[in-house]
Amino acid sequence: MEMKKTATDLGVPSDSIHDRTLHGVYRAIRYLHRTGILPRGHSWLARMFASLVPSTSVVQAQIPGIGSLWVDLSDRGQCAYFLESGLLRERLDSAILISGARSFNVVFDLGAHIGYYSSLLWKWAPRAAVHAFEPSEQTFKMLWKNLGDRSRITLNQKAVSQITGAQPFYVYDCSDQSSLVRTGNKSVTVETITVDDYCSGQSIRQVDFIKCDVEGAELEVVSGAKLVLGSQAPPIWLIENSTGIRRNRGISQKEIARAFRTYSSQPLDFFSAQSNGSKVQLFPCDPDRVSWDEAGVNIWVVPQNWKATFLAMVSQATLNSITGHEGSL
């Protein structure tokens, strides 16, 4: 799949006074947002202007820890990368990866969106092959703009599920909430693949790390990764804790944990990351004892074969590596 980047589709300011004015408005909104004058939740201002003048909607955001990402300000799921220099909820887990991703050789980004984690892993795991999966056509275009010309990255316009084939994919205006799980009425048909089938097709013998942000379809993903989980060296997982969607489906955190434990060849520990000043500390979140609703946005699933390495990653992690407020247009 080949796409050429142009000044217009990448949001590069043109010589038009109109476009330059709009980019000045975006910078002003970002300033008001970051200084607290404009409370969080008011990204609709930037999205409104971006929707009115689509030629100005795609801009470049500077993200601490990874560099730049192209984002579409008309999409609520992407706007925060520009207004906040990334997603606040991702910074603790990002700091852990920055400190120790160099240990990884093969990593998967399930639900890659526009490429935040793929970019992070590409930079901080310099030997690793990065395999990213994003089924949404529009979001995949942004993923391709950000990462399509980099070595060591394979971009797949597919959803990861429990079957290889095709399934309905429910699309939202907020792109990071789109899902295989029915939570709305608008859907498109997308290609799907299992983790195990993908590894077989790519002759991948071992996966070291899997980031899984699939908006409530975690059980389906785990069901399609039995061989990877059952290997002698199963990977570390970082899964988004999609509490609301999971609850609506009647799926408990214990069911997800049970699936991991059933298929894993190794004992597993469950953690979430918490802040302690500029350092990162772990919060044990055994699903039989601790509510994941209280644990955090993301849950780390750590097999015994990776536990010592993972604990070392956390001990060296610092929020100084992932904070900052610079952006660009």
**Ramachandran quadrant class, 102 (left: phi over 0; alpha: psi -120 to 50; beta: rest):** alpha
Per-residue pLDDT of the chain (329 residues; tens, 9 = 90+): 434 333 334 343 344 444 566 677 777 777 777 777 766 666 777 777 777 777 778 888 888 888 889 998 888 778 878 877 666 678 899 999 999 999 999 999 999 999 999 999 999 999 999 999 999 888 999 999 999 999 999 999 999 999 999 988 777 665 555 555 565 668 788 999 999 999 999 999 999 999 999 877 889 999 999 999 999 999 999 998 766 666 666 777 889 899 999 999 999 999 999 888 889 999 998 888 777 766 667 999 999 999 999 999 999 999 887 765 444 44
User: Rounded distance, CA 288 to CA 68, Å?
Assistant: 40
Q: Are residues 106 and 135 in the same domain?
A: yes
60 and 104 share one domain: no
| Inside any domain, residue 282 | yes
Does 1 map to a domain? no
Q: Give the count of domains, the chain.
A: 2
pTM for the predicted model, two decimal places = 0.86
Same domain, 44 and 135: no
In angstroms, rounded to a whole number, what is the distance separating the alpha carbons of residues 21 and 185? 37
63 and 190 fall within a common domain: no
By residue range, what is the domain housing residue 287? Answer: 88-321
* 326 within domain boundaries: no
CATH number, domain of 169, equals: 3.40.50.150
Asked if the structure places residue 186 within a domain, the reply is: yes
Per the CB < 8 A criterion, the answer to whether 224 and 133 are in contact is no
First to last CA, the chain: 27
Buried b (16+ CB within 10 A) or exposed e, 203-220: ebeebbbbbbbbbbbbbb
306 and 182 housed in the same domain: yes
State whether 162 and 207 are in the same domain.
Answer: yes
Residue at 133 is within a domain: yes
